[in-house]
Amino acid sequence: MRYYKNYICSKLNSIEKLTIKKIAQNKLNTGQVKVLTYAIGINYVDILMIRGIYQHKKELPFIPGTEACGIIIEENCNKTCLIGKRVIINSKGGCFSEIIVTDLSNIFFPSKELNSSQAAVFYNSALTAFVSLIETAKVKKQDTVLISGASGGVGQAMISLAKHKGLKIISLYSNNNKKQFLTELGSDIVIKNNRNAIEKIKNLTEGSGVDVILDITGVLKYYNILRTLKWGGKYVIIGFMKNNITSIPTNYILIKGIKVFGIRAGEYLKKNKDRKKSILKEIFSLSEKNVFTTKKINTFDFKHLKDGLKLLDERKVVGRIVITTDSYKDY
C-alpha cells in the first residue's frame, strides 16, 4: 500500500498545531480524480479556517488548503484522457497534501503560459478580481479604483486587471517594503494605509473622490475610508484580516448614495450559472495574455509549509507564497 504526507488540523486556533501525517491512498468515489501535487497556493482563508473563524467551519480533523496545481494520476469518471494532464485544483479544503483527491468539478486546466507555481495561485485571485471589478462594480475605462491589501494575491490580480481595463489605480500599503512593489505592479498612486490616506486621496482626486473601493483587508475597521468615495460610488467588500469584522457607517451610505457589495466569487458562480461558462472563459483567456501572471512568488518546500503560513499571517510578505513538493515540475 502506498502512503503520502499531508497536514492535518486536529485542533483549532494555531498554525503550530498543524501536524504532518502519512496516510494511505484512498480509493476514488465516482466522479473523482487523484492528483499528484506539484505546488500549493497559500491564502489567508487557510489561516481563518485553521483558526476556526472562517464563515464555514470545518469538522475536525481536516486537511486545510484551497488551491493547488498538479498532474492527474488516477480517475474514476470515465475520462481516461485526463491521466497525465496538468490541472489547477480549487476546493474548500484538502490541498495541503502530496496527493489530492477531489471532485472533477474542482479542477481546471491552466494555460501553458503559467508555470506550476503561478498556476497554483491563479484561479482564486483571478476569479475574485474579475467578479469584483467586472461583474459587480462594472467599472468603466478611466474610473478610479482604491485597493486595500493590494500586495496580496487578490490585490495583485486586481491591479493587473484594472491596468488592462484602463483604470486609474490607487493602492494602499501597510509596510514600506511593499510600496515599490505596488508601483512596479502598475499602481498609479501608492499611499500609506492610515487615517491620513483620506485627505491625501481627496487631494489627489481634486476633491471628487474615487469611483470604487475594493476592500480586501477590512480597512473600514480602522478609519472611515467611505469618505473617499464619490457620490454614488461603490464599496466592494472582499475580505478581512483576523477578527477585523467591519461595522459600516450607514449614514455615509445614505448621504453619499453608496452602493455596498459583498464578494464571494465561488458563490457568485453558483448563483449565476448562466454566466459561469463565459466568466471562466474570459479569465483563462486573460491569463493567456499574461494579465494575471503573478510577478513575485516566495517558495517554501512542503516540510516548511507552516513557515509560509506564519509569514502570511504576519502581513510582512511581498508577493505570493507557494509550497512546492518533491514532485514539482515547472512546465
User: Could you tell me the residue ranges of all domains in the chain?
Assistant: 3-122+294-324, 124-267
Residue 243 pLDDT class (50, 70, 90 cuts): low
- What amino acid occupies position 34? K
Q: What is the mean pLDDT of residues 320-328?
A: 95
Provide the pLDDT for residue 324: 97
Strands 32-41 and 99-103: antiparallel
Residue 212 carries which DSSP code? E
Distance from chain centroid for Cα 168: 22
CA distance 22 to 3: 6
Cell 504576519, located at residue:
314
Closest CA to 193 of 205, 182, 209: 182
Predicted local distance difference test score (pLDDT) of residue 241 = 66
- What does DSSP say about strands 144-148 and 210-215: parallel, antiparallel, or unpaired? parallel
- Yes or no: say if 257 and 84 are a contact pair by the CB < 8 Å rule: no
Distance from the Cα of residue 299 to its chain's centroid:
17
Query: For residue 50, what are the CA distances in angstroms to 12, 43, 57, 317?
Result: 6, 11, 9, 19
Strand partners of residue 168: 144
CA-to-CA distance for 18 and 70, rounded, in angstroms?
Answer: 23
124-267 CATH, one of 2.60.40.10, 3.20.20.120, 3.90.180.10, 3.40.640.10 = 3.90.180.10
Q: Yes or no: is domain 3-122+294-324 CATH 3.90.180.10?
A: yes
The dihedral built from the CA positions of residue 232, 145, 135 and 226, taken in this order, carries a sign that is negative
3-122+294-324 and 124-267, same CATH topology: yes
Distance CA(317)–CA(300), nearest Å, equals: 13
Q: Kind of pairing, strands 86-90 and 107-108?
A: antiparallel
pLDDT at 1 over 70: no
Please write the tens of the pLDDT for every residue from 134-186. Answer: 999 999 999 999 999 888 889 999 999 999 999 999 999 888 888 999 999 99
